[in-house]
A and B are shown apart, each in its own frame.
Chain A
Amino acid sequence: MAVKFEPMLTKFAHDPKQKKIAAYIRHGGYKAAEKAVKSFTPEEIIEIVKKSGLRGRGGAGFPTGLKWGFIPKDNSKPVYLAVNADESEPGTFKDRLLIESDPHQLIEGIIIACQAIKSETAYIYIRGEFALGAGILQEALKEAAKKKFIGKKIFGTGKKLDIFIHRGAGAYICGEETSLLNSIEGKRGYPRIKPPFPAIIGLYESPTIINNVETLCCLPHIILKGAEWFSSIGTEKSKGPKLFAVSGHVKKPGVYELPMTVTLREIIYNICGGMQDEKRKLKAVIPGGSSTPVLTLDEIDAVMCFDDIKKYKTMLGSAGVIVMDESVCMVDTAINLTRFYCHESCGQCTPCREGGTWLLKMLESIEAGAAKKEDIDLILDVCSQIEGRTVCPFGDAMVWPIQGFISKFRAEFELHIKSEKCPVEKDRGIRR
């Protein structure tokens, strides 16, 4: 991979002064916001972002410019921007870095997005556990308000923009966009039936756009350097730089900004220094956060973009890469993730609420060596009864990993059953 690639989202992530507005401005900050507020029409901004090929960085990969265009042209209600900073997908920790190290980049992105969708009010929904990040953002907002980049009469124009922080309180489901809206409205985090879509009926029955933190952070760079520049990075359908959060059994876990031409092999061995314990072989990799089906060691030449990776029956998701060596049992991993989903299920709809715990119990039974041969197919059958039948994609997110583990590591599941115990020598020790 010969890539002349310069990080831009995380360019100043290691500079502790970047949190302060003086440093941010010195590094070229808020120029793009000024342009967006003073020199572009909302339609022009939408066009630029559409041309750039920016796709949502929260996990769904939906084209951002297209999403913005869904707001009805004849709308007369206030428009809201909700920033999805609920980052809770296991394996994902990139938004945390952006928020804590470069909060003004996010604020500038919010200002630009609000110009595009004609919004005067934005809510940053940040997961409750990110108390540090919420504090840092609060300080940054104060600084931006002092400079009149937000508030009334921003950048010397008659426009106004208020940005508020709304803390989540420990619910992964609130990362789902309609659940996020219900949470802001002071309700239990139940996803809503779609249609109507949030761009039509969102917060307070008004049009609302929900964008991920990383997506918004791309905006200042697109405005300043142009759509062509952004779309020159990456593959044909996956433009721009991407943050990859790598964790697990690698020497150098962390957040890496890379173009989406990179392969999983390059990430693990070139970028992250290879396996943490060189005596242990690579066994499996989850490519894009816990909801994405696992890849075997034979599949790590997958190109980490939205589309190519699909041929391995998985997806890019939130680009949260979890690397597992041979000390990890796949059944145990399936249990770990299923327990996560069962704990986080909102409980609103039948298949996810009831089926999830059943799946967990069956998987635990396999790990305990107490299962029957037929149980693997029963698990797959229950998965198919949940998939596609739920109010929101949580049900799919819960069953895809299980289906992935069984599909790629069926022999390991069968060995558990045949030998009536877990055949893997698990390492439960601290690996630091």
Chain B
Amino acid sequence: MKRVTFFINNGEISTDDGKTILQAALENGIDIPHFCYHHTLGIDGNCRICLVEIAGNPKLVTSCTTPAMEGMKVLTDSIKVKKGRAGILEFILLNHPLDCPVCDKAGECVLQNYSYEHGYAHSRLEYPKEHFPVKDLGPDIYLWTERCIKCSRCERFLDRISGTGELGFFNRSVKTELSVFPGKPIDNLISLNIVDICPVGALLDKDFLYQARVWDMKRTESICALCSAGCNIEYWDLDNRLKRITPRHNASVNIDWICNNGRRSYKLTDRDDRLTEHKLRGKKISLDEGIEELINFIEKTVDKYGVESIAAIGSPWLTNEENYLIRRIFGAELGARLAVLPTRIEGKDLPFPDGFTIRAEKAPNARGARIAMGLKGKKGRELDGILQDTKSGKIKCVVVFNGDPLLSLPSEITIALRKAWFVAVCETVPSGLSRSADLVFAGNVSTEKDGTFTNYDEYTQRIRQAVFKPLDSQPEWKILLRIAERWHKEIKASNPSEIYSEMAKKVKFFKNSDFNLIGSKGMYCKE
């Protein structure tokens, strides 16, 4: 690929031949102010704020439409550019309502930021502004039409990325207005991404309306746990209550997007029926008491009937570290039978034109769970075998770590396990499993712990704790480490990072990787 070298503000910049000045600048961490350009949505050149000066050219040009040429000298901060940019901002603000105090976007509004940095402090307009109604665009989105700066990012997203085309402009001149067609609201599975890419507070998420100010919330980088795509996200919480999810950019995984269901998945954390206490036969106990009971029963059973009478089941909803600990404690150290809970498959994979895909496999760590548990292949019959042997009485004690927040496990599992003499279940919300189990541990969902997930593509990524667990419940890795400690099975680890290091020693897949190296972007461990 031919490269081009040119100068921005006397600093040397190199880029691929054919790229525009703006693209080259953004690649190199220089933010030339822009609204309508988005790296996934093509070049539109309508906002005109990305003006720059090119030495030898009397007119300012838009950097988003001008190809970078060898030796070009570009200025982004000359007096001419500053004045030109401020002029464009003045025009954008001309009919823009002064809604900041009541607008959701305040604090993360591109227009607000640019105005503060590059605009005039006073308005010279002495006439009434244009007025437009607030619109209900469908089940998820409001349009505060007056705030719209007509950058057309939303229209282009719905045309090119979701392929549904619900939004368009009608009328012209200063009466240009964004709208949907009567009777055809915005109703597609990835529609809420237009709220993120809207540079102002025009398109708003109904779910997040007036919920919180962005500067009051804490942000945590993590991975969505709803399907095996592993979309990169941020959790936003206000005083430990999750308020919303926004997607992060990752070209290898989710580009810039998250599906609407994934975006709403933070609500699972605050379900009313979250398990908050550990219970033995319906009565509240402490974690140590429960662990004591479990260890005693297992040891007695092993004495009488051998290790073949014990089974431990991991989960595609739990992290690699947690599944590894299950395998290490019950498998490697004890010798019990191992399996992983089945993943729910909903329909087919749903690919969108730019490659973003909603996966049919509705669990975040199906691949990772099997790998960490030491089970060969992408699918297996280990669980079937365990269920059969439980029904026949061969297996007497089963320990199940179920992380499914949506209670989607098939009932055959619960029915089969009822035949066992002792069932210990770790769950987050009460399912048929925990209702008929002897011992119930209260676990944590993926927003409440650190760890790693490995997606359908065998790409491993970090989840991070965003909020604190409810009451007595614990992250599963903590429960497992405690079990190991009480059982005198030495595991040299006290947190997920150290568990990962242990796992990397014993599981070939993770051998060349490091918990901290995975960082914010994730990695293919097998490099």
Contact B43 A193 (CB under 8 A): yes
- In the complex, which residue of chain A has the Cβ closest to the Cβ of B89? A350
Nearest CB of chain A from residue B163's CB, rounded to whole Å: 18
**With an 8 A cutoff between CB atoms, is B487 at the interface?**
no
Q: Are A345 and B47 in contact (CB under 8 A)?
A: no
Chain B, Cβ-Cβ closest to A364: B127
Which listed residue (B60, B95, B171, B174) contacts A389, Cβ 8 A? Answer: B60
Expressed in whole angstroms, the Cα–Cα distance for A361 and B174 within the complex equals 13
Tell which of B44, B48, B173 touches A346, judged by Cβ atoms closer than 8 Å.
Answer: B173
Which single residue of chain A is at the shortest CB-CB distance from B95?
A354
Q: A354-B95, A358-B94 in contact; A391/B84 too (CB < 8 A)? A: no
Is B134 part of the binding interface, using a Cβ–Cβ cutoff of 8 Å?
Answer: no
Q: Which of B46, B49, B175 contacts A391 (CB 8 A)?
A: B46
Quick one: closest A residue to B149, CB to CB?
A: A350
Taking CB atoms and an 8 Å cut-off, the chain B residues in 80-98 that contact chain A are 84, 87-88, 90-92, 94-95
| A273 touches B (CB below 8 Å) | no
A193-B65, A346-B173, A357-B174 are contacts. A385–B91 as well, Cβ < 8 Å?
yes
A342 to B172, CA, bound (A): 9
Contacts of A349 in B (CB 8 A): 45-48
Q: Which residues 157-194 of A have a CB within 8 angstroms of B?
A: 171, 188, 193
Q: Does A16 contact B (CB under 8 A)?
A: no
Most buried by B among A354, A355, A385, A390: A354
With A353-B150, A354-B91, A388-B60: A344-B48 Cβ-Cβ less than 8 Å = no
Once the chains bind, are A345 and B174 in contact (CB under 8 Å)? yes
* In contact, A351 and B175 (Cβ under 8 angstroms): no
Residues facing A in B47-61 (CB within 8 A) are 47-49, 51, 59-60
B174 touches A347 (CB 8 A): yes
Q: Is B78 part of the binding interface, using a Cβ–Cβ cutoff of 8 Å?
A: no
User: Does B305 touch A at the CB level, under 8 Å?
Assistant: no
A350 near B92: Cβ-Cβ < 8 Å? yes
Contacts of A344 in B (CB 8 A): 173
The smallest C-beta distance from A376 to any residue of chain B, in angstroms, reads 13
Contact check, A354 vs B174: say whether CB atoms are below 8 A apart.
yes
Give min CB distance, A348 to chain B, whole Å.
5
Q: Which residues of A contact B44 (CB under 8 A)?
A: 193
A375-418 interface with B by 8 A CB criterion: 378, 385, 388-391
Is B132 in contact with chain A by the CB < 8 A criterion? no
**Bound Cα distance A342, B43 (Å):** 25
A356 within 8 A of B: yes
Q: Which of B45, B49, B173 contacts A357 (CB 8 A)?
A: B173
Shortest Cβ distance from residue B493 to the other chain A in the assembled complex, whole angstroms = 57
**Interface residue? B125 (CB, 8 A):** yes
Contacts of A353 in B (CB 8 A): 91, 150, 173-174, 176
Q: How far is the CA of A354 from the CA of B172 in the complex (A)?
A: 11
Which residues of B have CB within 8 Å of A373? none
Tell me the bound Cα distance from A345 to B175 in angstroms.
10
In Å, the complex CA distance between A385 and B174 comes to 17
Q: A388-B59, A389-B84, A389-B87 are in contact. Are A347 and B175 (CB under 8 A)?
A: yes
Chain A CB within 8 A of B300 CB? no
CB pair B51–A389 under 8 Å, yes or no, is yes
- Is B169 interfacial (CB 8 A cutoff)? yes
Most buried by B among A188, A347, A357, A385: A347
B174 and A342 contact, CB distance less than 8 A? yes
* Chain A residues numbered 202-216 whose CB sits less than 8 Å from any CB in chain B: none
**Given the interface contacts A193-B43, A361-B127, does A385 sit within 8 Å of B169 by beta carbon?**
no
Q: Does A343 contact B (CB under 8 A)?
A: yes
Q: How far is the CA of A355 from the CA of B88 in the complex (A)?
A: 9
A342 contact set on B, CB distance < 8 A: 173-174
Contact of B45 among A346, A356, A391 (CB under 8 A): A391
Residue of B nearest to A378 (CB): B124
**Complex interface: chain B residues within 8 A of A385 (CB):** 84, 87-88, 90-91
Give a binary string over B93-128; 1 marks a CB under 8 Å from any A CB, 0 the rest.
011000000000000000000000000000011010
- Structural contact, A347 and B125, CB atoms closer than 8 A: no
How distant is the Cα of A61 from the Cα of B502 in the complex, in angstroms?
77
Closest A residue to B45 using CB positions:
A193
Interface centre among B44, B46, B125 (most CB of A within 10 A): B46
Q: Which residues of A contact B92 (CB under 8 A)?
A: 350, 354
| Interface members, chain B 189-244 (any A CB < 8 Å) | none
**Residue among A343, A348, A390 with most chain B CB within 10 A:** A348
Given contacts A351-B91, A353-B150, contact A346 B84 (CB under 8 A): no
Whether A350 pairs with B91 at a CB distance below 8 angstroms is yes
In the complex the two chains form, what is the Cα distance from A297 to B331 in whole Å? 101
Bound Cα distance A361, B130 (Å): 12
In-complex Cβ contact of B48 among A343, A345, A347, A351 (8 A): A351
A197 to chain B, nearest CB (A): 13
Which residue from B43, B59, B150 sits with its C-beta under 8 Å from A347? B150
In angstroms, Cα B80 to Cα A388, docked, is 13
In the complex, what's the smallest C-beta–C-beta distance from A57 to chain B, in angstroms?
Answer: 26
Chain A, residue nearest B127 (CB): A361
Q: Which residues of B contact A351 (CB under 8 A)?
A: 48, 87-88, 91
Expressed in whole angstroms, the Cα–Cα distance for A391 and B48 within the complex equals 8
Report chain B residues within 8 Å CB of A361.
Answer: 127
Q: Name the contact of A354 in the complex, choosing from B49, B60, B94 (C-beta under 8 A).
A: B94
CB–CB A345/B84 < 8 A: no
Contact residues in B for A355 (Cβ distance below 8 Å)? 91, 94
Report, nearest first, the 5 A-B pairs whose CB atoms are least far apart: A385-B87, A347-B176, A354-B91, A345-B173, A347-B172
Binding site for A on B (CB under 8 A): 43-49, 51, 59-60, 65, 84, 87-88, 90-92, 94-95, 124-125, 127, 130, 149-150, 169, 171-176
List 16 A-B residue pairs with CB atoms under 8 Å apart, sorted by A's residue number. A171-B172, A344-B173, A345-B173, A347-B175, A351-B48, A353-B173, A353-B174, A354-B92, A356-B174, A357-B173, A385-B87, A385-B88, A389-B51, A389-B60, A389-B84, A391-B48
A-B contact sample (9 more), CB < 8 A, given A346-B173, A353-B150, A356-B174: A171-B172, A193-B44, A345-B174, A347-B175, A350-B46, A354-B95, A378-B124, A385-B91, A389-B87
